[in-house]
Structure 1
Amino acid sequence: MSNKVIVIVVDGMRYDKACETLGFIQHLLETNQAALYKVKSELPSLSRPLYEVLLTGTPASVNGITSNQAVQLSTEKSLFHLTKENGLRNGAVAYYWVSELYNRAPFHFVEDREQEDESKPIQYGKFYWDDDYPDSHVLMDAEALRRKYDPHFLYIHPLGVDVKGEAFGSESKEYREQILKMGSLLAQLLPIWMKEGYHILITSDHGMSEYGNHGGITDGERDVPLFIISPKVEPGVHSEVVPQLAFAPLVCELLEIEPSDKMVNYSLPGLNRKMTV
C-alpha cells in the first residue's frame, strides 16, 4: 500500500456548505469510497494560526502563531520537517503565509515564488500572494508539481472560497458557487490521484459566518469538513466530531512516520491501524 498523501485545505469552507455542494465527493461517500468527519477548528478561527495548527498539531498558546499578523517562522516541527527527516519528499502549492511559516519570513516575492531546495522544510513549492489567484491555477500548479517531483506529501491550499465568503457572506450565491467550482476541479483530479493510490484528505482551516467574517467561536466559523479517501479509513459519514489538533498526527499515520512529541494522541474513528506497516 502507498504511503503517499495529498492534503487539500480549501480555505474558509464551512462544513454545511461543503456537504451541500461537493457533488462528486458526495458521490464517493454514497458509493463507500470516501469518509466524512466534522472537524471543530481551533481558536482563533483565523487563517495563519490554523495553517500552523493543521501542519504542526499544536495550539496557538503553544506555537505562538496567535493572529494573522504573526509574520514569523514557526518554532514547531511541521509535517514538512517530519517528512524531510524521514527521507520523504514534500511539496506545497499555497498562499505565501505557508512559506513564511516554514521556509523564510518575511516572504521574498521574487526568490520565494518557486522553491526547489531539498535542504529546506518545504522542498518543492509554488506560492502565490494575490488573494484572487484562481483556484484552478492552484490545483493545476499542484498537479504539475506532483508529476514533476513525485512528493510523498503534497499540500494544496486554494483561497478562492475564503475570498468569496469574506466578500459576500456564507449564505450568498457567490460563496456557494465558489465551492461548486472547487468541487468541479476536484472531480477532475481525484480519479487520477485515487488510481495512483494516494491517501487524500480534503479539509479547511476555518469556516465562515453569514456576515462574511471569521475569527470567533460560532459553529459556522469553526465547523469544517474532513473528507478522507483511503483504504485505511472506513468509508461513510462518521458522527464523532474530530478536534483539529488530530489532523497532523493522522497525516503522520498515513505517511507511516512518527508524529512529533507535541502532537496529540488521538484515535480517529474508522482508522484501521492494523494496515500500517
Structure 2
Amino acid sequence: MPHKVILVILDGLNYQVAEHALGHLQAYRAAGRAQLYKLDCELPALSRPLYECLLTGSAPIVSGVVHNQVVRLSNQQSLFHLAREAGLTTAAAAYHWISELYNRSPFVAVRDRHTSDPSLPIQHGHFYYADHYPDSHLFVDAESLRLRHQPDFLLVHPMNIDDAGHRHGADSAQYRNSARSADILLADYLQTWLEAGYQVMVTADHGMNNDRSHNGLLPEEREVPLFVIGSAFSLNPDARPKQTELCGTLCSLLGLAHDKPRCAELLA
C-alpha cells in the first residue's frame, strides 16, 4: 500500500551527538515506535554530493556531484522526478542547493525562493540561502507547505546544526545544543505528521569534526543517524541500511516503480 512520506535531513549531524541529544526521537524509540540506525555516509562527506546520494541513491563518484561547487542540475533520476511522473505531489523546505539539483540551476532567489509549479520535479518549495536561516522558520515553512498542498513526499532540511559545527566544532556546546533545539522543533510536528498518515525518516547528510569541517574518513565525519518512525517500518534492530539505499526505500514506501537499491529489512 502506498504511503505518504516525510524525509528530514538534519544537515551536519553526526551519530555520536544524535544518539544522546535527540531526546524526543529517543522517546519514540524507547516506546517501541521508532528505531535508530547508524549509517556511514558516502564519500566525499560533503553536502551537495550527499543530497544527491540521499535523493537519487547514487554515490558521488557515480553522480558526478563530487564537491559543493558542482552547480548544475542532477543527471540522475531523483525521488522527486519519479514521484512527479507517477502523479504524486512533491514539496521541499530546504537549502537552495536542493533547488539547483532538481528544479533550476543556478538558483535565482527572486525567481526560485518560493516555488509553486506542477511541471517542476519539486512542485512546491521554500528554499533558503543563508546557513543561519533559523531552523524554527524552516520547520514552519515545511508545515505550511504540508498544510497547503498535502504533498505525498515532503523534504524538510534545516541547516543550523551544520552551521554551528562550522562555527564552533563538533565538540562544542553550540553544536550539541543546536541538535537539541532541532529535536525540540521536531517535537512540535512529529505526532501531527504521524496522525496525518506520514511515514517519517530522519537522517543527516554527513557529520562534523573538531576542525569545524567534514570531508574525510573520521567516524565523526562519516557516521550519521537514521531514525525511522511510522507503521510501515519494521523497526528491525538488525537491519543494516546503507545511505545509497534510502532513496529506493522511500520510493517503495511511496509505491513508486523504481530500480534503485533499497533496504527491504527497514520495511514492515
1:246 aligned partner: 245
Query: 1:1-277 alignment to 2 at 5 Å?
Result: 3-235=3-235, 238-259=237-258, 261=259, 263-264=260-261, 266-272=262-268
Gaps of at least 5 residues in structure 2 are none
What is the CA distance between 1:267 and its match in structure 2? 3.1
Is the 8 Å Cα contact of residues 200 and 228 (structure 2) preserved in structure 1? yes
Q: What are the Cα deviations for residues 203-260 of structure 1, in whole angstroms up to 9, with x where unaligned?
A: 0000111221101111111111110112121236x2554211011001011111122x
Gaps of at least 5 residues in structure 1 are 273-277
TM-score relative to the length of structure 1: 0.94
1:275 aligned partner: none
Matched residue of 2:110: which SS?
coil
What is the CA distance between 1:269 and its match in structure 2? 2.7
Is the 8 Å Cα contact of residues 241 and 266 (structure 2) preserved in structure 1? no
Matched residue of 1:111: which SS?
helix
Partners of 2:206 and 2:220 lie apart in 1 by 9
| 207-216 or 1-10: bigger deviation | 1-10
What is the CA distance between 1:148 and its match in structure 2? 0.2
Task: Pick closer, same or farther for the CA change 1:110–1:57 going to 2, 3 Å.
Answer: same
Sequence identity (%): 43
Q: Which ranges of 4 or more aligned residues in structure 1 deviate by more than 6 Å?
A: none
TM-score relative to the length of structure 2: 0.97
Partners of 2:97 and 2:265 lie apart in 1 by 32
Matched residue of 2:137: which SS?
helix
What is the CA distance between 1:115 and its match in structure 2? 0.5
CA RMSD of aligned residues (A): 1.2
Is the 8 Å Cα contact of residues 40 and 242 (structure 1) preserved in structure 2? no
